[in-house]
Amino acid sequence: MRRKEVEEAHKVRSERLENHVKSSQEKFEEITRGWLIVKEKATLQELRKARDSQQQLCALLLEDKKKIINDLQQEMKAGDDRYVKDLRKEAEELDLMIERMEDNMKTLKKAYREEMGQIKRVYQQQNEVIRTRDVTEWEQLLTELWDREQGRLQQRREKVEEYEDVFHRLMLKNVDSQNSNQVENNAKIALQVTEREQQKKTVDDMVKRLAKIRQEYETEEHKVNLGCMKKRALSLQAELKNLVTQNTNYVKRIRETRRHLSKKIKRSIQQYERTQKKIKYFIVADATKFEEMWITVEAEVKQLVERALVTDSLICKQHLGLAWKRPPMAFMELSGPIQPQKQAHKAASELFPTGQALQCSQGTMDTSDWPRLEAEADSTDMEMSKEGTVGQGEGDAEVEDGKLSMDTLKKVMELLCDEAVRNKCKIHLCTKELHITLN
């Protein structure tokens, strides 16, 4: 959703810039056509009207440029704010997710510990119950066996007593029968002893068998419980491993997003530097073009001065009959725009102090300097118009008197030079703004 919004905004901005470039190109062509028409004008009033129309067109073009620059700066600022908010939101979500995962881990560990303790307690209780049951059964078996053995021993004692009585009676009868009976009794006693030993062995075998059965039962129960616990531990380990892998994948995805955004910002900075280099190149080209135009205008002014001097000499010689002497004119020896060129280089150096300034500060500096330049240009226009009217009145008076003084020629030359310089400066500033906005 966010990507679609960014693409739509980029598409709208591109269409808007293309439309603005087309309209600016049309206005620029209209301005250039206006300058071609200005060259065909002959009178001062027509030149002033053409100049005013050109100034209005340039002002409209500059207002459009300022508006589009302000809009682009606001969009850039809004994009930066959105980017910072997104980064902040992602960091908060990541911290919240990590905190939730830690809480889940703690709760799971606590629950597993409680469950393990409960299992141990249940297992101990079961062992106690089984042990008590086996002990009671064992005691019952022992008591029953003891009772049977006691009964057998009692019967044997009774029989022994009977046999002793019989033996004594038989001893009294005769010695031979006593000897024979004694032998028989000894044999019977030996047989009874062997039987008693066999009974003891059977009892021991039964005890061992019961112990073995009990041990097998306990081992089987332990194995069943251990198998259940191992399965539960393996399932918990698998779940923990899945959670860890999910966390690592999410962290990798966030790092990839940050890397992509940093590359995009780097490309934007490089594009901005290339644009600044182009602007610097166009400023230098405009300065050279201004110098060439200055030289051509200066040549035209010098031709006009020569024609005025020739006219003055003819008037002095033919109409007044006076000797004419060429006045000293130091400005005829000068050539080239000395002061405007220095100002242009100074403006270029101020415009590119390090080559790494931000576009926002550049735009604000240029837009803040334009009202000052326009105010100065308007003030100079008013002064020149006043001086022109005064000079024109004085010139008409002197022509009516039939005289052309050096002061009049100097004023005419100053007016022409100042007006040419002012027009060239305005042309230079307009072309520079057009190049900056078009590129």
Contacts (Cβ under 8 Å, ≥6 apart) of 359: 76, 272, 275
Q: What type of residue is 428?
A: H
**Residue 317's CB: how many other CB atoms inside 10 A?**
12
* pLDDT band of 436, cuts 50, 70, 90: low
* Arithmetic mean of pLDDT, 162-191: 75
200-to-195, 203, 208, 226 alpha-carbon distances in Å: 9, 5, 12, 39
28-to-281, 288, 438 alpha-carbon distances in Å: 20, 20, 10
What's the CA angle centered on 248, arms 242 and 250, to 5 degrees?
100
* Arithmetic mean of pLDDT, 305-323: 81
**pLDDT > 60? residue 364:** no
| Structure confidence at residue 341 (pLDDT) | 42
Residue 320 corresponds to which tokens in the numbers above?
């007044």
**pLDDT > 60? residue 348:** no
* Arithmetic mean of pLDDT, 15-34: 78
* pLDDT band of 243, cuts 50, 70, 90: confident
Collapsing DSSP to helix, strand or coil, 323 comes out as coil
Q: Is 366 left (phi over 0), alpha (psi -120 to 50) or beta?
A: alpha
DSSP secondary structure letters along 144-173 = HHHHHHHHHHHHHHHHHHHHHHHHHHHHHH
Q: In the Cβ-directed half-sphere of 92, how many Cα atoms lie within 13 Å? A: 6
357 or 306, greater pLDDT: 306
47 or 234, greater pLDDT: 234
Alpha-carbon span 52 to 62, nearest angstrom = 15
**Mean per-residue pLDDT of the chain:** 74
Q: What is this structure's pTM?
A: 0.25
**pLDDT > 90? residue 232:** no
* Arithmetic mean of pLDDT, 339-356: 42
* pLDDT band of 402, cuts 50, 70, 90: very low
Residues 334-343 have pLDDT tens digits of 776 655 444 4
* pLDDT band of 350, cuts 50, 70, 90: very low
Alpha-carbon span 161 to 436, nearest angstrom = 140
Q: Are 313 and 306 in contact (CB under 8 A)?
A: no
| Structure confidence at residue 272 (pLDDT) | 84
Residue 179 corresponds to which tokens in the numbers above?
């000897």
Q: Which residue has the tokens 């997104």?
A: 86
Residues 114-140 have pLDDT tens digits of 999 999 999 899 989 998 999 999 999
* pLDDT band of 281, cuts 50, 70, 90: confident
| Structure confidence at residue 426 (pLDDT) | 60
- Weakest-pLDDT range from 13-22, 66-75, 106-115, 290-299: 13-22
Contacts (Cβ under 8 Å, ≥6 apart) of 409: 305, 308, 309, 312, 327
**pLDDT > 80? residue 261:** yes
DSSP secondary structure letters along 337-369 = -HHHHHHHHHHHHHH-SSS---HHHHHHHHHHH
* pLDDT band of 59, cuts 50, 70, 90: confident
* pLDDT band of 175, cuts 50, 70, 90: low
* pLDDT band of 280, cuts 50, 70, 90: confident
**Residue 300's CB: how many other CB atoms inside 10 A?**
12
Residues 70-105 have pLDDT tens digits of 888 888 888 888 888 888 988 999 999 999 999 999
* Arithmetic mean of pLDDT, 276-284: 83
* Arithmetic mean of pLDDT, 163-183: 73
- Span between the terminal Cα atoms of the chain, in Å: 32
Chain centroid to CA 319: 86
| Structure confidence at residue 331 (pLDDT) | 66
2 or 58, greater pLDDT: 58
Alpha-carbon span 59 to 65, nearest angstrom = 10
Alpha-carbon span 194 to 184, nearest angstrom = 15
